[in-house]
């Protein structure tokens, strides 16, 4: 066998081995004991709405999704929230955390419907009342 044919065969074997090392069946357990597909949960984009648009609205969310409330000219931490059914959703306080500023929001926890009321501590603003309707993914 000539050298050129031997090098070509060796290269083909090396390529085949490297490609098989890259392939994954998706069922190989990781260090945590779960498979990669179990660990990879799709990210659900938040729903963003202005506080002014929430009065009387119904906001549709899926479990795990967050309603991000844009407070406009008012401070992010100036709103407090009450959720009627805390098994369905929870209020998330806005404000500064570390070097970042976060809007207030409502996180969907389980399928169902609940009423939410937001009150602004700066006064002069009527409470915002709206409905959150949560469905499963």
pLDDT in tens, 64-84: 999 999 999 899 999 999 999
pLDDT in tens, 115-131: 999 999 776 688 999 99
**Residue burial 92-113, b: 16+ Cβ < 10 Å; e: rest:** bebeeeeeeeebbbbbbbeeee
85 and 68 part of one domain: yes
Q: Looking at the predicted structure, is the pLDDT value of residue 9 above 60?
A: no
112 and 62 part of one domain: yes
Question: How many separate domains does the chain show?
Answer: 2
pLDDT in tens, 41-68: 778 999 999 999 999 999 999 999 999 9
SS3 of 89, please?
strand
18 and 53 part of one domain: no
Domain holding 114: CATH number?
2.60.40.1380
Q: CB-hemisphere CA count at 13 Å for 11? A: 6
Q: Which domain holds residue 15?
A: 3-39
Q: Looking at the predicted structure, is the pLDDT value of residue 21 above 60?
A: no
- Cβ–Cβ under 8 Å, residues 110 and 88: yes
pTM of full prediction above 0.75: no
């Amino acid at each position: 066998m000539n050298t050129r044919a031997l090098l070509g065969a060796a290269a083909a074997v090396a390529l085949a081995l490297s490609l098989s090392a890259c392939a994954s069946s998706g069922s190989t357990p990781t260090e945590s004991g779960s498979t990669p597909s179990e660990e990879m949960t799709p990210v659900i984009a938040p729903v963003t709405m202005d506080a002014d648009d929430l009065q009387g609205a119904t906001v549709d969310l899926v479990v795990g999704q967050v309603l991000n409330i844009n407070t406009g000219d008012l401070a992010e931490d100036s709103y407090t929230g009450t959720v009627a059914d805390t098994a369905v959703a929870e209020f998330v306080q806005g404000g500064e955390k570390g070097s970042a500023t976060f809007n207030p929001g409502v996180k969907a926890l389980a399928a169902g419907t609940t009423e939410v009321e937001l009150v602004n501590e700066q006064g002069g603003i009527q409470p915002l009342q709206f409905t959150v309707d949560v469905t499963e993914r």
